[in-house]
Amino acid sequence: MSGNRPERSWATFPPHVISEIHRAADQGLYYIRGAGAWRAVPSFDDLVFLGASVSRYPLEGYRERCDTDVTIGARFASKPVELKIPVTIAGMSFGALSANAKRALGLGASAMGTSTTTGDGGMTMEEREASETLVYQVLPSRYGMNPDHLRAADAIEVVVGQGAKPGGGGMLLGQKVTERVADMRTLPAGIDQRSACRHPDWTGPDDLAIKIQELREITDWEKPVYVKVGATRTQYDVALAVKAGADAVVVDGMQGGTAATQEVFIEDVGIPTLPAVRLAVEALKELDVHRKVQLIVSGGIRTGADVAKALALGADAVSIGMAALMALNCNAPLYLEDYEALGTRPGACNLCQTGRCPVGVTTQDPVLEARLDPEEGGRRVRNYLSTLTMECQTLARACGKSHVHNLEPEDLAALTVEAAAMAQVPLAGTGWIPGRS
Amino acid sequence: MTVETIDLDAAGVRALNRRLQGRDGPVAGGRFVVTNAKGRHALAVGLTEAMDVRIRGHVGYYCAGMNQKADVTVEGNAGTGVAENLMSGTVRVTGDASQSAGASGHGGLLVIEGSASARCGITMKGVDIVVGGSIGHMSAFMAQAGRLVVCGDAGAYLGDSIYEAELFVRGRVESLGADCVEKDMNGEDAARLDALLAEAGMAADAARFRRYGSARQLYNFRVDNAAAY
């Protein structure tokens, strides 16, 4: 207050900006944290479905079939991945996550007939055993890269980038680099591990094509090869991934999470998932490979509505990371004193990088990890995936679709001009698509 | 023992790799000669058994990639990423190698009798690499473990952001990368290097090499190191 005048909020310097300046002045280093972008961006929340009415009829919600299966990788792989639901678990490393968390994700995904994915640092045997369908990531760091694991996987994902940090490499701060994690990555324990931002033996799409050929030769052309990109120049990146021979392309929007990276990356690099889906689909259609090269979309998928909207815009499947961790109690109101000790609270915690996760998900501390029972966690993940699937089916039936892949942009309307422009669907109540009509 | 000859003009890359991976019959202990390489990519990749493979002519990218146990010799030059992610066994190139030779190798021995281009031994994780000639810039970038031995000169920024790998250079080093420093070389180091040179078949006097490794100053983020990144 200044006299009797009410305070005016400071748009240029809101409290979180002032706080960051103070922190930077104290520490002299960029802020490193986990999770994805927290700024508000146009999202699937800005779209609604146009349920059936007189002009078209819905399917009976509890009686008529609405299938959810998806096949990934039939373009070149002799053993494509067959999933029962179009929701997969995104790549997250053992190291960033506890072994119990990785096992729980595998158990939950397997119970629902879907896949989970390794991460930086390689494959653990617990993860392989728990996951009926496991995607093995080939990352720039090549930590733990092992041809035996490549052959033991069900699919291969060449990671070019990640939505939280397109153009940047990962981090794992020293407090999480335990002896086991360090041993898997051939690094000294306790160091602040940096992951490279670029692959060590290829640059550009022509090289990528040869790298994919090598991976296929090593695995006898059995495994589907995905290429994962962070959403930036999505139309070009997807087209080049297709040209390089990908069976599937994973596009990760800026809301996608990370275990640790510079906040300036998380909040200021990349585009939201909403326009990324549409750009990716346009690229696939331009090359006449839509539905032949599968599109997997990730970054801020939370509900069955998000799943359905991504599919309606043309994705074949989605991938979840942060939301799956929340199913494991990330940010749940448990162990409140431990949140407090970290200087945060349930619902606001993004301190994965500290390794002090109160609920045992993003930690290597055995005491904290023991708080996550993998069997119970697996049930929670299964329940969550089941809910997402049923919600998606509900919306698809309401639009008269007997398969979730039959959802289409015509089933959608946008609530904001921005979302209409980004998704290229009409602003609700109009026929207006910005930039088109 | 009989030598099986595989003509790539007739068989193609797919059939070659299937044969050498033992998918079309046993290969352990076998001897193979591959003809008409003609710069083809991904030759002899993903091998898992002890065998002797000689490739006649130049090869393209990723020859002998992810090799386990096999001994592979390229009688010619090698393209990008020869023996990338080598796990075990020996890969020998009688000519020169392009960039990223031995990238992320976890074990085994890569011998390049000629010179290697940029980023030789990038992110190496336990492999031993011996180069008869010189290496290009940014070699051993983020090298984590293993040994890189260079009988000639090393290009700029050698060992940038190096972890626990050891580098031995006989000739001139144009410059060292961040956190890479020259280290003492004692008798034990020279003996280990001597044994490695002998294993690689390189006639070189270990006493004439200088040893480099990590100063370990960048292992943890500190404001005082900001200028180094």
The SS3 of residue B41 is coil
Question: Over the stretch A153-194, which tens digit does the pLDDT of each residue have?
Answer: 999 999 999 999 999 988 888 888 888 888 889 999 988 888
Question: Quick one: pLDDT at residue B68?
Answer: 98
- Chain A residues with CB under 8 Å of a chain B CB are 27-29, 32, 141-142, 145-148, 150-151, 173-174, 185-188, 190-192, 194, 196, 200-202, 207, 210-211, 213-214, 217-221
Question: Quick one: pLDDT at residue A115?
Answer: 98
In 3D space, the residue among A414, A410, A386 whose CA is nearest the CA of residue A399 turns out to be A410
Q: DSSP secondary-structure letter at B227?
A: G
Q: From CA A232, how far away is CA A222, in angstroms rounded?
A: 30
Q: Is residue B6 a part of any domain in this protein? A: no
Q: Is the CATH number of domain A31-399 3.40.50.1000?
A: no
* B81/A27 CB distance under 8 A: no
Residue B15 CB partners (closer than 8 Å, separation 6+)? B6
Question: Over the stretch B57-89, which tens digit does the pLDDT of each residue have?
Answer: 999 999 999 999 999 999 999 999 999 999 999
Going by pLDDT thresholds of 50, 70 and 90, the confidence category of residue A373 is very high
At residue B157, does pLDDT exceed 70?
Answer: yes
> Across chain A, what does the average pLDDT equal?
95
Helix (H) or strand (E) holding A159: strand A155-159
Q: From CA A74, how far away is CA A318, in angstroms rounded?
A: 18
Joined tokens for residue A432: 């207006």
Q: Is residue B9 a part of any domain in this protein? A: no
Question: Quick one: pLDDT at residue A437?
Answer: 64
Question: Quick one: pLDDT at residue B229?
Answer: 65
Burial of B95 (0-12, 13-18, 19+ CB in 10 A): middle
B217 touches chain A (CB under 8 A): no
Q: Is residue B90 a part of any domain in this protein? A: yes
Question: Quick one: pLDDT at residue A61?
Answer: 82
Going by pLDDT thresholds of 50, 70 and 90, the confidence category of residue A230 is very high
Nearest by CB to residue A200, choosing from B61, B87, B104, is B104
Domain count, chain B: 1
Q: What average pLDDT does this structure show over B28-52?
A: 98
Nearest by CB to residue A200, choosing from B42, B48, B122, is B122
Q: Is residue B92 a part of any domain in this protein? A: yes
Cβ neighbour number for residue B192 with a 10 Å cutoff? 14
In angstroms, what CA-CA distances link A118 with A111, A159, A178, B123?
Answer: 18, 11, 18, 20
Q: Find where tokens 């909403």 sit.
A: A274
In 3D space, the residue among B227, B225, B192, B226 whose CA is nearest the CA of residue B209 turns out to be B192
* A201/B62 CB distance under 8 A: yes
According to DSSP, the β-strands at B71-75 and A317-320 are unpaired
Q: DSSP secondary-structure letter at A362?
A: S
Q: Is residue B24 a part of any domain in this protein? A: no
* B123/A142 CB distance under 8 A: yes
> At B133, which CATH number?
2.160.20.60
Residue of B221, B222, B223 for testing the chain A interface, max A β-carbons within 10 Å: B221
Q: Is residue B126 a part of any domain in this protein? A: yes
Task: Chain B: give the shortest CA distance to residue A106, in Å.
Answer: 27
The SS3 of residue A194 is strand
pTM of this structure? 0.96
Going by pLDDT thresholds of 50, 70 and 90, the confidence category of residue A225 is very high
Burial of A408 (0-12, 13-18, 19+ CB in 10 A): middle
First to last CA, chain A: 49
B221 touches chain A (CB under 8 A): yes
Q: Which parts of A29-96 are beta strand (E)?
A: 32-33, 47-49, 70-72, 81-83, 87-89
Q: What percent of chain A has pLDDT over 70?
A: 99
List residues bridging with B74 in a β-sheet: B55, B93
**Apex A346 CA angle, A344 and A347, nearest 5:** 100
At residue A3, does pLDDT exceed 70?
Answer: no
Nearest by CB to residue B164, choosing from A145, A150, A188, is A188
Q: Which residue has the higher pLDDT, A61 or A308?
A: A308
Question: Over the stretch A320-362, which tens digit does the pLDDT of each residue have?
Answer: 999 999 999 999 999 999 999 999 999 999 898 899 999 999 9
Question: Over the stretch B116-147, which tens digit does the pLDDT of each residue have?
Answer: 999 999 999 999 999 999 999 999 999 999 99
At residue A1, does pLDDT exceed 70?
Answer: no
Q: Which domain holds residue B59?
A: 39-228
Q: Is residue B132 a part of any domain in this protein? A: yes
Q: DSSP secondary-structure letter at A426?
A: P
Q: Is residue B2 a part of any domain in this protein? A: no
**For B108-111, which contacts have Cβ atoms below 8 Å and span 24 or more sequence positions?**
B108/B67, B108/B83, B109/B199, B109/B200, B110/B82, B110/B83, B110/B86, B111/B200, B111/B201, B111/B202
Question: Over the stretch A236-290, which tens digit does the pLDDT of each residue have?
Answer: 999 999 999 999 999 999 999 988 889 999 999 999 999 999 999 999 999 999 9
List residues bridging with B173 in a β-sheet: B154
Cβ neighbour number for residue A66 with a 10 Å cutoff? 23
Residue B5 CB partners (closer than 8 Å, separation 6+)? B32, B33, B34, B35
Q: What percent of chain A has pLDDT over 90?
A: 85
At residue A2, does pLDDT exceed 60?
Answer: no
Indicate the domain borders of chain A: 31-399
Joined tokens for residue A8: 């005016």
Query: Listing from the earlier edge strand, what are the strands of the sheet with B210-214?
Result: B3-7, B31-35, B52-56, B71-75, B90-93, B109-112, B125-131, B145-150, B166-169, B210-214, B180-183
Question: Quick one: pLDDT at residue B152?
Answer: 98
**Apex A84 CA angle, A79 and A89, nearest 5:** 85
Q: Which parts of A204-316 are beta strand (E)?
A: 225-230, 248-252, 261-262, 294-298
ipTM for the assembly: 0.97
B64 touches chain A (CB under 8 A): no
